Structure 1
Amino acid sequence: MLTEIHPKIPMRDKKVTREFYLKNLGFKEFGSADFDGYLMIEKDRIQIHFFEFKELDPKENYGQVYIRSNNIDDFYQSLLDKKVQIHPNGPLQIKPWGQKEFSILDPDSNLLTFGQSLIE
Structure 2
Amino acid sequence: MLTNIHPKLPMRNKNITREFYLNSLGFKEFGSTDYDDYLMVEKDQIQLHFFKFKTLDPKENYGQVYIRTDNIDLFYRFLLDKKTKIHPNGKLETKPWAQKEFSVLDPDNNLLTFGQSI
TM class by smaller structure:
over 0.9
Number of matched residues? 118
**2:66 is aligned with 1:66:** yes
Residue 87 of structure 2 aligns with which residue?
Answer: 87
Structure 2 regions of 5+ residues with no counterpart? Answer: none
Query: What are the superposed Cα offsets for residues 24-78 of structure 1, whole Å, 9 maximum, x if unpaired?
Result: 1110011100012000000000000000001000000000000000000010011
Query: What are the superposed Cα offsets for residues 63-118 of structure 1, whole Å, 9 maximum, x if unpaired?
Result: 00000000000100111111111101100000000000000000000000000001
Q: Could you state the TM-score of these two structures normalised by the residue count of structure 2?
A: 0.99
| In structure 2, C-alpha distance between the alignment counterparts of 1:25 and 1:104, rounded to whole Å | 10
Between the aligned residues of both structures, percent identity stands at: 75
Structure 1 regions of 5+ residues with no counterpart? Answer: none
**2:66 is aligned with 1:75:** no
| In structure 2, C-alpha distance between the alignment counterparts of 1:60 and 1:37, rounded to whole Å | 20
Residue 38 of structure 2 aligns with which residue?
Answer: 38
Q: Aligned runs of 1:5-20 on 2, under 5 Å?
A: 5-20=5-20
In structure 2, give the amino acid aligned to 1:16: I
| In structure 1, C-alpha distance between the alignment counterparts of 2:48 and 2:63, rounded to whole Å | 12
Residue 55 of structure 1 aligns with which residue?
Answer: 55
Residue 101 of structure 1 aligns with which residue?
Answer: 101
Taking only aligned residues, the RMSD between alpha carbons, in angstroms, comes to 0.4
Q: Could you state the TM-score of these two structures normalised by the residue count of structure 1?
A: 0.97
Residue 27 of structure 2 aligns with which residue?
Answer: 27
Q: What secondary structure sits across from 1:47 in the alignment?
A: strand
Runs of 4+ in 1 over 4 A off after TM superposition: none
| In structure 2, C-alpha distance between the alignment counterparts of 1:39 and 1:32, rounded to whole Å | 11
